[in-house]
Amino acid sequence: MPIQVGQDTAKTRRTLTVGDKSIAYYSIPAAQEAGLGDFTKLPASLKVVLENLLRFEDDGFSVSVDDIRAFGDWAKNGGNNPREIAYRPARVLMQDFTGVPAVVDLAAMRDGIKALGGNPEKINPLVPVDLVIDHSVMIDEFGNPRAFQMNVDREYERNMERYQFLKWGQTAFQNFRVVPPGTGICHQVNVEYLAQTVWSDTDQNGDMVAYPDTLVGTDSHTTMVNGMAVLGWGVGGIEAEAAMLGQPISMLIPEVVGFKLTGAMVEGTSGTDLVLKVVEMLRAHGVVGKFVEFYGDGLDNLPLAQRATIANMAPEYGATCGFFPIDAETLHYMEQTGRDKDRIALVEAYAKENGFWRGADYAPIYSSTLELDMGTIVPAISGPKRPQDYVKLSNASDAFMNVVNEYRGIDTSMAAEAMEAEAPAPTPVEEKDPRKSHPVEGADYELRDGSVVIASITSCTNTSNPYVMIGAGLVARKANELGLTRKPWVKTSLAPGSQVVTEYLNAAGLQDDLDALGFNLVGYGCTTCIGNSGPIAPELSKAIADGDLIATSVLSGNRNFEGRISPDVRANYLASPPLVVAYAIAGDMNIDLSNDPIAQDKDGKDVFLKDIWPTDAEIAELVDKVVTREAFVEKYADVFKGDEKWQAVEVSGGETYDWPPTSTYIQNPPYFQGMSAEKGSIENIEGAKVLLMLGDMVTTDHISPAGSFAQSTPAGQYLIERQVAPREFNSYGSRRGNHEIMMRGTFANIRIKNEMLDGVEGGYTKGPDGEQTSVFDASMAYQEQGTPLVVFGGEQYGAGSSRDWAAKGTALLGVKAVIAESFERIHRSNLVGMGVIPFEFTGGDTRKTLNLTGDETVTIMGLDSVKPLQTVQADITYGDGTTKTIDIKCRIDTAPEIEYIENGGVLHYVLRNLAKA
């Protein structure tokens, strides 16, 4: 399908000659010459957005000359001009956990438009969509040569209904491709194969046009491709579907925070150590809703694979993106990963001609800046429950003792002060050693607080970086030579983000060394990072529960939120792949890897981390030898073909989906059923009751968990009633195509704490009768009475994954508003996209200063005439009958979002417009 461009763009359209070919493009220097503004000092990340507007100028409804001038004003105002603009990404990326419900929505929209008298074929992606199946493999089998094949077989057994549905989508929708299971993780496949940095296609006039590669993705770590100078970020499936169907993304011109990198990494440190420090710094700086762009001469010493790691974790530092401009390293990476030579030449010529190139003189204006000398980086981990909880490796064991003290209710102030001063933590006077231990049935060892029961090399965040993967393999090799192995209670796994990783580990002979320590290949997918760590041994699980132990996990991923990794694990730590191997050998978070022996060799001699740690030269030599262009070309040659299992998946065609009534995976959602042809209005919220009272940093994992669930939960009971055995439950993430499961799983994370209850963990609240019950059952009781609901929260509400079900589930539970101290970007947008209104406290009010208990009744008036970002009044009636009126800020941020709420959500808005057209 040709790309659409604006109707009045001739004044900025130019021709570029690359080799013996000419190609049109939209010129930022030409826009400047035309008097539209001075764009010389714009950051490259913002120039990508500006080019997007130039290409669609005067397209009929979304881009005006004043929008383009606003970018010149942004530079004049020192990096600030939050004008609302309409942005059109070139493509959409999905993974299967978020992609299945998105395709479910598209299928439901086809039914919906048919009911409104429209043409189902109008529900079709207008931009290319790639869906990579990477979230469904679980680590059932590990530590042996059969693990990979057995996990793949089990994956197909569990997910056949979903895979048949996705294959139907591939045949029913145009511009929609599926990368089959067992290929890799979507972001790594994107960086290594799909992304082109500069795209080219024909326009509606048949002319070839070059333009920056841009995308949105239904996964928050879509930002990984920013390392390759591709502007992309995560959105909920709702917003992605709207973008697919031609709806521009309404956004404010963001502030851009410049992060200057200087110096070079020192011996013994890794890209993971660097990114964990970056996350800590940017979280402290405050970058929610902002672009971050990396610059400085340190980039000359930073391979693209390490840039991709930093970009990948933009959601962890809260930014919309973490962008690296095009430079010589970008071209080198494209060459190494098998990109077409003509494409590489186009990228270089286009970037230099249109002002995107980072040369020695690159010095744009930023809204604010901060700086880091990479020579100061030291080995580090992050945990126990937030990616920004940075801990130097030398302080890790002391920091874990603070975790124990906090969990056991012991004063940690003295220890915290000592940590700050980097001094040894004093033993608390209340209890000599608060750590507990418990015997393991049938074993000759005990578990204790800090026992590492999961050590997983996983996630695109780090497995995309050959330097840390080769480093992990060399740690394993040196450990094997000394006769070391993993501790028997550690569940080890290796789940790379692409098949290329296996290729170069085998070529280096390092996979055998990893196998010897139990790091056998278990699958190509997100696994532990998304919560698909699989069960640990029953006897270990029992010892942890019986002893009330703080078991730990160490993974090379990007997320370590409470309840995410495993229901048996309370403390989760992010670390580099080499450190994951080291912790598997040590088996205990109480061991100081910087100073203590981590094990004894075959002769009983103490072995320290330095004894098995490879030098940078050793790593670089192997990377240069085994990470080859040929490996990338070979492994991506048939990326959409899949193995025999995928090819054997049967599917029946049809423009609308034949919803199987007995399916527990795929159900027709209720969003569009009985929908009228005309929009409504925004309704006031009167007499709402409080469903939950939540604290700070409530993540989308807390709101809509992705992992496993027990048969005692509402979701488990739903499946038991339909004769699904607990062994076949799979996970919440895999069942996102069934709204009945997901409603029951909303606010059901095993670690969520509802402050309406006294210290209770899990998905519980008070029902209309004041008694404790499940959130789902309370919601159904309130909805039966016709009572609207609200949720109160603290700071950074909705941090974490982009999952749209955190908003969909909230809406289906009857919640009309969420009132919090602040929102993370994606979740705020998702709430609006589902017709739920986000509000922020003002004037220093919080749930605590207002003494809210959850027994209150809330009324919010004036919403029938509300404007973007308007302050409105909320009347709170307390349980004793007293009342208080407060001002709250409506976080409907833009005019189009007003229309979305009036229509009941963004998809309803799009559907009505398409039906009318």
- Say whether 176 sits in a helix, a strand or coil: strand
Region 178-206: what's the mean pLDDT?
Answer: 94
What is the CATH classification number for the domain harbouring 733?
Answer: 3.20.19.10
Per-residue pLDDT band for 419 (boundaries 50, 70, 90) equals low
pLDDT reported for residue 61: 53
Instruction: Give the pLDDT mean for 52-61.
Output: 78
CA distance 95 to 706: 13
The confidence band for 734, taking pLDDT boundaries of 50, 70 and 90, is confident
Percentage of the chain modeled with pLDDT above 90 = 79
- Of 908, 909, 903, nearest to 682 by C-alpha is 903
Establish if 196 belongs to a structural domain: no
165 C-beta neighbours (distance < 10 Å), count: 23
Q: Is 292 helix (H, G, I), strand (E, B) or coil?
A: strand
Q: Which residue has the tokens 């993967």?
A: 469
Cα distances from 889 to residues 89, 252, 852, 869, 898, in angstroms, run 29, 17, 18, 6, 14
Contact call for residues 870 and 901 (beta carbons, < 8 A): no
pLDDT above 80 for 802: no
In the predicted structure, residue 164 carries a pLDDT above the cut 90: yes
**Contact assessment for residue 789 and residue 816, using Cβ atoms and an 8 Å cutoff:** yes
Contact 775, 715 (CB under 8 A): no
Confirm whether 250 is domain-assigned.
Answer: no
Write phi, then psi, for 113 (nearest 5 degrees): -70, -30
Mapped onto helix, strand or coil, the DSSP state of residue 142 is coil
Token pair for 223: 């930002």
The last residue of a domain, from among 72, 87, 102: 87
pLDDT at 426 over 60: no
Q: For the chain, state the CA radius of gyration.
A: 27
- Amino acid in the structure at residue 680: G
pLDDT band at 111 (very low <50, low <70, confident <90, very high): very high
Domain check: are 620 and 717 in the same one? no
| Helices 396-407 and 413-420, axial angle in degrees (round to 10) | 160
* Token pair for 236: 């909920």
DSSP-assigned letter for residue 628: -
Is the pLDDT at 894 greater than 90? The verdict is: no
Q: Is the pLDDT of residue 416 over 60?
A: no
Measured at the CA of 185, the angle between CA 180 and CA 186, to 5 degrees, comes to 80
Confidence grade of residue 3 (pLDDT, cut at 50, 70, 90):
low
What's 573's domain CATH number? 3.30.499.10
Mean model confidence pLDDT for the chain: 93
Integer Cα distance of 215 and 531 in angstroms: 26
Q: Does the pLDDT at position 430 exceed 60?
A: no
Residue 800 pLDDT level (bands cut at 50, 70, 90): confident
Between CA 495 and CA 600 the distance in angstroms is 28
State residue 429's pLDDT score. Answer: 47
Q: 593 and 699: one domain?
A: no
pLDDT, residue 422, reads 59
Decide which of 579, 600, 627 is a domain's last residue.
Answer: 627
Do residues 459 and 536 share a domain? yes
239: left (phi over 0), alpha (psi -120 to 50) or beta: alpha
Q: How far apart are the C-alpha atoms of 860 and 838, rounded to whole Å?
A: 12
> What CA–CA distance (Å, rounded) separates 461 from 188?
8
- Classify the C-alpha dihedral 857-807-138-152 as positive or negative: positive
Task: Say whether both 610 and 689 belong to one domain.
Answer: no
User: Would you place residue 175 in the very low, low, confident or very high pLDDT band (cuts 50, 70, 90)?
Assistant: very high
Residue 678 lies in a domain: no
The reply to whether 609 and 690 lie within a common domain is no
| 614 and 757 co-located in one domain | no
Instruction: State how beta strands 198-202 and 208-212 pair.
Output: antiparallel
- Asked whether residue 300 is domain-assigned, the answer is no
Tokens describing residue 381: 């981990």
Is the residue at 293 inside a domain?
no
Judge whether 146 lies within some domain. no
Instruction: Verify that 495 and 606 share a domain, yes or no.
Output: yes
- As given in the structure block, the two tokens for residue 514 are 């990893």
Q: How far apart are CA 330 and CA 430, in angstroms?
A: 56
Helix (H) or strand (E) holding 542: helix 538-547
For residue 154, tell me if it sits in a domain: no
Please state the pTM of the whole predicted model: 0.87
Q: Which of 705, 806, 903 is nearest to 242 (CA)?
A: 903
- The rounded distance, in Å, linking the Cα atoms of 390 and 72 is 38
> 3-class secondary structure for 735-789?
HCCCHHHHHHHCCCCCCCECCCCCCCECCEEECCCCCEEEHHHHHHHHHHHCCCE
Reply yes or no on whether the pLDDT at 692 is more than 60.
yes
Query: Pick from 366, 396, 370, 394: which is nearest to 383 by CA?
Result: 396
pLDDT in tens, 382-406: 999 998 999 999 999 999 999 999 9
Same-domain status, 836 and 767: yes
* 555 touches 454 (CB < 8 A): yes
Count of the separate structural domains present in the chain? 3
Residue 414: what pLDDT? 54
Q: Decide the pairing of beta strands 13-18 and 176-179.
A: unpaired
Q: Which helix (H) or strand (E) holds 26?
A: strand 21-26
Expressed as residue numbers, the domain containing 803 is 685-916
**Contacts of the segment 441-446: beta carbons below 8 A, 24+ positions apart:** 441/539, 441/542, 441/543, 442/539, 443/488, 443/489, 443/539, 445/488, 445/489, 446/543
CA distance 523 to 538: 22
pLDDT for 639: 93
Shared domain check, 877 and 774: yes
Task: Give the whole-angstrom CA distance, residue 346 versus residue 583.
Answer: 45
Kindly report the length of the chain: 917
pLDDT of residue 237: 82
In this prediction, residue 654 carries a pLDDT of: 85
Query: What 8-state DSSP symbol labels residue 384?
Result: S
* CA–CA dist 358, 377 (Å, integer): 24
For residue 595, pLDDT beyond 80: yes
Residue at which a domain ends, from 54, 71, 87: 87
**Same domain, yes or no: 708 and 850:** yes
Of 410-414, 685-689, 742-746, 837-841, the least confident: 410-414
> What are the phi and psi torsion angles at 62 (to 5°)?
-115, -25
Q: Are residues 618 and 477 in the same domain?
A: yes
Whether 614 and 726 map to the same domain: the answer is no
Within a domain: 66:
yes
Segment 834-844 shows an average pLDDT of 96
